[in-house]
Amino acid sequence: MEERSRANRALWNELTAVNARSPLYRLEQFKAGEIKLNPLERGEVGDVRGKKLLHLQCHFGMDTLSWARLGADVTGVDFSEEAIELARSLSEELQIPARFICSDIYELEQILDEEFDLVFTSYGVLAWLPDLPRWAALAARYVRPGGFFYMVEFHPFAMVFDDESADLRVRYPYFLEDALELPVKGSYADPEARLETRVAYEWQHTLGDIVTCLVNSGLRLEFLHEFPYTVYQQLPMLEPLDEHYWGQPDGRTDLPLIFSLKASRPEICPEA
Protein backbone atom coordinates (compact mmCIF):
# COMPACT_ATOMS: atom_id res chain seq x y z
CA MET A 1 0.00 0.00 0.00
CA GLU A 2 2.87 2.40 0.72
CA GLU A 3 4.21 1.92 -2.80
CA ARG A 4 0.80 2.74 -4.26
CA SER A 5 0.42 5.81 -2.08
CA ARG A 6 3.89 7.07 -3.03
CA ALA A 7 3.17 6.60 -6.73
CA ASN A 8 -0.16 8.43 -6.51
CA ARG A 9 1.32 11.28 -4.48
CA ALA A 10 4.14 11.66 -7.01
CA LEU A 11 1.55 11.79 -9.80
CA TRP A 12 -0.51 14.48 -8.11
CA ASN A 13 2.58 16.51 -7.34
CA GLU A 14 3.27 16.53 -11.08
CA LEU A 15 -0.36 17.15 -12.00
CA THR A 16 -0.54 20.30 -9.90
CA ALA A 17 1.52 22.34 -12.36
CA VAL A 18 -0.02 20.63 -15.40
CA ASN A 19 -3.57 21.28 -14.25
CA ALA A 20 -2.87 24.81 -13.07
CA ARG A 21 -1.81 25.89 -16.57
CA SER A 22 -4.52 23.95 -18.43
CA PRO A 23 -7.60 25.67 -19.92
CA LEU A 24 -9.83 23.18 -18.07
CA TYR A 25 -9.02 24.71 -14.68
CA ARG A 26 -9.34 28.37 -15.75
CA LEU A 27 -6.87 29.55 -13.14
CA GLU A 28 -6.46 33.04 -14.59
CA GLN A 29 -10.23 33.53 -14.67
CA PHE A 30 -10.38 32.35 -11.07
CA LYS A 31 -7.73 34.88 -10.10
CA ALA A 32 -9.87 37.55 -11.77
CA GLY A 33 -12.78 36.70 -9.46
CA GLU A 34 -14.53 33.70 -11.02
CA ILE A 35 -16.22 31.21 -8.67
CA LYS A 36 -14.91 27.75 -9.56
CA LEU A 37 -17.90 25.85 -8.19
CA ASN A 38 -20.64 24.63 -10.53
CA PRO A 39 -24.33 25.54 -10.20
CA LEU A 40 -25.16 22.01 -8.99
CA GLU A 41 -23.04 22.00 -5.85
CA ARG A 42 -23.71 25.66 -5.09
CA GLY A 43 -27.45 25.07 -5.27
CA GLU A 44 -27.49 21.85 -3.26
CA VAL A 45 -25.11 23.02 -0.54
CA GLY A 46 -26.84 26.37 -0.15
CA ASP A 47 -25.71 29.43 1.78
CA VAL A 48 -22.31 28.92 3.42
CA ARG A 49 -21.86 32.39 4.92
CA GLY A 50 -20.36 32.10 8.40
CA LYS A 51 -20.06 28.31 8.25
CA LYS A 52 -16.94 26.28 8.98
CA LEU A 53 -16.18 24.15 5.93
CA LEU A 54 -13.69 21.29 5.59
CA HIS A 55 -12.72 20.37 2.02
CA LEU A 56 -11.23 16.88 1.76
CA GLN A 57 -8.89 16.15 -1.20
CA CYS A 58 -8.92 19.79 -2.24
CA HIS A 59 -6.15 19.64 -4.92
CA PHE A 60 -4.73 23.18 -5.24
CA GLY A 61 -7.65 24.85 -3.58
CA MET A 62 -9.71 26.72 -6.17
CA ASP A 63 -12.98 25.15 -4.99
CA THR A 64 -11.96 25.69 -1.37
CA LEU A 65 -11.19 29.35 -2.03
CA SER A 66 -14.43 29.68 -4.00
CA TRP A 67 -16.37 28.61 -0.90
CA ALA A 68 -14.38 31.23 1.00
CA ARG A 69 -15.40 33.86 -1.55
CA LEU A 70 -18.99 32.85 -0.79
CA GLY A 71 -18.47 33.49 2.92
CA ALA A 72 -17.31 30.19 4.43
CA ASP A 73 -14.47 29.76 6.93
CA VAL A 74 -12.51 27.15 4.99
CA THR A 75 -9.94 24.44 5.62
CA GLY A 76 -8.60 22.41 2.69
CA VAL A 77 -6.73 19.10 2.94
CA ASP A 78 -4.69 17.28 0.30
CA PHE A 79 -1.78 14.82 0.32
CA SER A 80 0.14 16.57 -2.46
CA GLU A 81 2.82 18.93 -1.19
CA GLU A 82 2.86 20.80 -4.51
CA ALA A 83 -0.91 21.25 -4.48
CA ILE A 84 -1.00 22.60 -0.94
CA GLU A 85 1.90 24.95 -1.65
CA LEU A 86 0.03 26.39 -4.65
CA ALA A 87 -3.22 26.62 -2.65
CA ARG A 88 -1.49 28.60 0.09
CA SER A 89 0.13 30.91 -2.45
CA LEU A 90 -3.24 31.56 -4.11
CA SER A 91 -4.80 32.33 -0.73
CA GLU A 92 -2.05 34.85 -0.04
CA GLU A 93 -1.95 36.35 -3.54
CA LEU A 94 -5.72 36.83 -3.74
CA GLN A 95 -6.05 37.77 -0.05
CA ILE A 96 -8.67 35.09 0.54
CA PRO A 97 -8.43 33.77 4.13
CA ALA A 98 -8.04 30.00 4.18
CA ARG A 99 -6.18 27.23 5.98
CA PHE A 100 -4.55 24.45 3.97
CA ILE A 101 -3.20 21.24 5.50
CA CYS A 102 -0.91 18.78 3.73
CA SER A 103 -1.84 15.32 4.95
CA ASP A 104 -2.78 11.89 3.74
CA ILE A 105 -6.50 11.76 4.44
CA TYR A 106 -6.09 8.64 6.58
CA GLU A 107 -3.61 10.44 8.83
CA LEU A 108 -5.62 13.62 9.22
CA GLU A 109 -6.86 12.88 12.74
CA GLN A 110 -3.27 13.10 13.96
CA ILE A 111 -3.19 16.74 12.84
CA LEU A 112 -6.74 18.09 12.91
CA ASP A 113 -9.08 17.77 15.91
CA GLU A 114 -12.12 19.92 15.14
CA GLU A 115 -15.70 19.66 13.91
CA PHE A 116 -17.23 21.52 10.97
CA ASP A 117 -20.66 22.66 9.82
CA LEU A 118 -19.97 21.20 6.38
CA VAL A 119 -17.56 18.57 5.07
CA PHE A 120 -17.23 18.76 1.30
CA THR A 121 -15.53 16.71 -1.41
CA SER A 122 -15.96 16.60 -5.17
CA TYR A 123 -15.17 15.23 -8.65
CA GLY A 124 -12.56 12.53 -8.96
CA VAL A 125 -11.76 11.84 -5.31
CA LEU A 126 -13.10 8.36 -4.59
CA ALA A 127 -10.89 6.53 -7.08
CA TRP A 128 -7.82 7.39 -4.97
CA LEU A 129 -9.19 5.87 -1.75
CA PRO A 130 -8.12 2.29 -0.95
CA ASP A 131 -10.21 2.03 2.25
CA LEU A 132 -13.73 3.35 1.76
CA PRO A 133 -15.18 2.50 5.22
CA ARG A 134 -12.27 4.26 6.91
CA TRP A 135 -12.73 7.30 4.66
CA ALA A 136 -16.45 7.45 5.48
CA ALA A 137 -15.77 7.21 9.22
CA LEU A 138 -13.24 10.01 8.97
CA ALA A 139 -15.58 12.24 6.98
CA ALA A 140 -18.35 11.66 9.52
CA ARG A 141 -16.00 12.33 12.43
CA TYR A 142 -15.49 15.91 11.22
CA VAL A 143 -19.22 16.74 10.86
CA ARG A 144 -20.54 18.51 13.95
CA PRO A 145 -23.99 17.58 15.32
CA GLY A 146 -26.49 19.38 13.09
CA GLY A 147 -23.95 19.69 10.26
CA PHE A 148 -23.71 17.68 7.06
CA PHE A 149 -21.43 15.95 4.60
CA TYR A 150 -21.85 16.74 0.89
CA MET A 151 -20.18 15.23 -2.13
CA VAL A 152 -20.58 15.44 -5.89
CA GLU A 153 -18.67 12.84 -7.85
CA PHE A 154 -18.36 11.00 -11.13
CA HIS A 155 -20.88 8.17 -11.21
CA PRO A 156 -19.16 4.80 -10.65
CA PHE A 157 -21.21 3.24 -13.46
CA ALA A 158 -19.78 5.76 -15.94
CA MET A 159 -16.28 4.79 -14.82
CA VAL A 160 -16.51 1.34 -16.45
CA PHE A 161 -16.39 2.68 -20.02
CA ASP A 162 -13.31 2.99 -22.20
CA ASP A 163 -12.27 6.64 -22.06
CA GLU A 164 -10.29 6.24 -25.30
CA SER A 165 -13.14 4.87 -27.42
CA ALA A 166 -15.90 6.81 -29.18
CA ASP A 167 -18.28 3.95 -28.39
CA LEU A 168 -19.69 3.01 -25.02
CA ARG A 169 -17.44 -0.02 -24.62
CA VAL A 170 -16.95 -1.53 -21.16
CA ARG A 171 -13.25 -1.59 -20.27
CA TYR A 172 -13.08 -1.57 -16.47
CA PRO A 173 -14.98 -3.77 -13.99
CA TYR A 174 -17.72 -2.26 -11.86
CA PHE A 175 -17.12 -4.76 -9.06
CA LEU A 176 -13.45 -4.77 -8.11
CA GLU A 177 -11.80 -5.46 -4.76
CA ASP A 178 -8.16 -4.63 -5.52
CA ALA A 179 -6.62 -1.59 -7.17
CA LEU A 180 -6.35 -1.03 -10.89
CA GLU A 181 -2.75 -0.49 -11.96
CA LEU A 182 -2.95 2.04 -14.78
CA PRO A 183 -0.26 3.46 -17.06
CA VAL A 184 0.00 7.24 -16.84
CA LYS A 185 -0.52 8.98 -20.16
CA GLY A 186 -0.81 12.73 -19.69
CA SER A 187 -3.49 14.40 -17.60
CA TYR A 188 -7.26 14.49 -17.97
CA ALA A 189 -6.73 18.26 -18.23
CA ASP A 190 -3.87 17.97 -20.74
CA PRO A 191 -3.57 14.59 -22.52
CA GLU A 192 -0.30 15.70 -24.15
CA ALA A 193 1.46 16.49 -20.86
CA ARG A 194 4.77 14.67 -20.37
CA LEU A 195 4.95 13.16 -16.88
CA GLU A 196 7.70 11.25 -15.11
CA THR A 197 5.27 9.13 -13.09
CA ARG A 198 4.62 5.97 -15.11
CA VAL A 199 1.92 4.17 -13.16
CA ALA A 200 -0.99 5.10 -10.91
CA TYR A 201 -3.36 3.07 -8.75
CA GLU A 202 -7.11 3.58 -8.62
CA TRP A 203 -9.93 1.86 -6.76
CA GLN A 204 -13.47 1.32 -8.03
CA HIS A 205 -16.26 1.79 -5.47
CA THR A 206 -19.87 0.93 -6.24
CA LEU A 207 -22.67 3.38 -5.51
CA GLY A 208 -24.07 0.92 -2.99
CA ASP A 209 -20.77 0.73 -1.14
CA ILE A 210 -20.44 4.52 -1.01
CA VAL A 211 -23.90 5.03 0.48
CA THR A 212 -23.62 2.08 2.86
CA CYS A 213 -20.25 3.19 4.25
CA LEU A 214 -21.51 6.71 4.93
CA VAL A 215 -24.70 5.47 6.61
CA ASN A 216 -22.72 2.97 8.68
CA SER A 217 -20.49 5.82 9.84
CA GLY A 218 -23.45 7.35 11.67
CA LEU A 219 -24.56 9.89 9.07
CA ARG A 220 -28.20 10.12 8.01
CA LEU A 221 -28.79 10.14 4.26
CA GLU A 222 -30.73 13.23 3.17
CA PHE A 223 -30.61 12.67 -0.60
CA LEU A 224 -28.85 10.82 -3.39
CA HIS A 225 -29.21 12.41 -6.84
CA GLU A 226 -27.99 11.10 -10.20
CA PHE A 227 -27.49 13.20 -13.33
CA PRO A 228 -27.03 12.53 -17.08
CA TYR A 229 -24.32 15.17 -17.45
CA THR A 230 -20.79 15.76 -16.20
CA VAL A 231 -18.29 18.59 -15.81
CA TYR A 232 -15.75 17.86 -18.55
CA GLN A 233 -15.31 15.60 -21.59
CA GLN A 234 -15.13 12.50 -19.46
CA LEU A 235 -15.87 10.22 -22.44
CA PRO A 236 -14.95 10.94 -26.08
CA MET A 237 -18.53 11.09 -27.41
CA LEU A 238 -19.68 13.73 -24.91
CA GLU A 239 -20.48 17.23 -26.14
CA PRO A 240 -20.67 20.58 -24.29
CA LEU A 241 -24.19 21.43 -23.12
CA ASP A 242 -23.32 24.88 -21.77
CA GLU A 243 -20.39 26.60 -20.05
CA HIS A 244 -20.52 24.15 -17.13
CA TYR A 245 -21.62 20.72 -18.32
CA TRP A 246 -21.08 17.97 -20.91
CA GLY A 247 -23.60 15.34 -22.01
CA GLN A 248 -24.38 12.76 -24.66
CA PRO A 249 -25.14 13.90 -28.23
CA ASP A 250 -28.67 14.27 -29.59
CA GLY A 251 -30.08 15.10 -26.17
CA ARG A 252 -29.71 11.55 -24.84
CA THR A 253 -30.08 11.26 -21.06
CA ASP A 254 -29.89 7.49 -20.57
CA LEU A 255 -26.47 7.33 -18.90
CA PRO A 256 -25.69 8.46 -15.32
CA LEU A 257 -22.49 10.52 -15.38
CA ILE A 258 -22.33 12.18 -11.95
CA PHE A 259 -24.12 11.88 -8.63
CA SER A 260 -24.49 14.03 -5.54
CA LEU A 261 -25.13 13.04 -1.96
CA LYS A 262 -25.96 14.82 1.27
CA ALA A 263 -25.81 13.14 4.67
CA SER A 264 -26.30 14.86 8.02
CA ARG A 265 -25.17 14.21 11.56
CA PRO A 266 -28.16 14.30 13.91
CA GLU A 267 -28.29 16.86 16.69
CA ILE A 268 -27.45 15.54 20.16
CA CYS A 269 -30.68 15.41 22.13
CA PRO A 270 -30.49 16.44 25.81
CA GLU A 271 -31.25 13.75 28.32
CA ALA A 272 -34.76 13.83 29.72
Residue 207 in any domain: the answer is: yes
Confidence check: pLDDT of 202 > 70? yes
* Residue-range definition of the domain harbouring residue 95: 2-263
Instruction: Tell me which DSSP letter residue 86 carries.
Output: H
pTM of the model: 0.95
CATH number at residue 232: 3.40.50.150
Confidence check: pLDDT of 272 > 50? no
Percentage, residues of the chain above pLDDT 70: 98
Domain count, the chain: 1
Residue 269 in any domain: the answer is: no
Residue 221 in any domain: the answer is: yes
Confidence check: pLDDT of 166 > 90? no
Query: What are the two backbone dihedrals, phi and then psi, of residue 183, each rounded to the nearest 5 degrees?
Result: -70, 140
Residues 54-74 as b/e (b if ≥16 CB within 10 A, e otherwise) read bbbbbbbbbbbbbbbbbebbb
Which range (69-83, 137-151, 166-180, 228-242) has the least confidence? 166-180
CA atoms within 13 A on the CB side of 202: 19
Residue 141 in any domain: the answer is: yes
Q: Note the pLDDT of residue 117.
A: 98
Q: Note the pLDDT of residue 165.
A: 86
Confidence check: pLDDT of 56 > 90? yes
Query: What are the two backbone dihedrals, phi and then psi, of residue 241, each rounded to the nearest 5 degrees?
Result: -95, -35
* 109-161 confidence digits (pLDDT tens): 999 999 999 999 999 999 999 999 999 999 999 999 999 999 999 999 999 99
Question: What confidence tier does 163 reach under pLDDT thresholds 50, 70, 90?
Answer: confident
From first CA to last CA, the distance across the chain in angstroms is: 48
Which range (57-66, 151-160, 244-253, 262-271) has the least confidence? 262-271
Nearest CA to 218 out of 267, 156, 261 is that of: 267
Which range (135-144, 175-184, 212-221) has the least confidence? 175-184
Residue 270 in any domain: the answer is: no
Residue 121 in any domain: the answer is: yes
* 248-264 confidence digits (pLDDT tens): 999 999 999 999 999 99
Residue 268 in any domain: the answer is: no
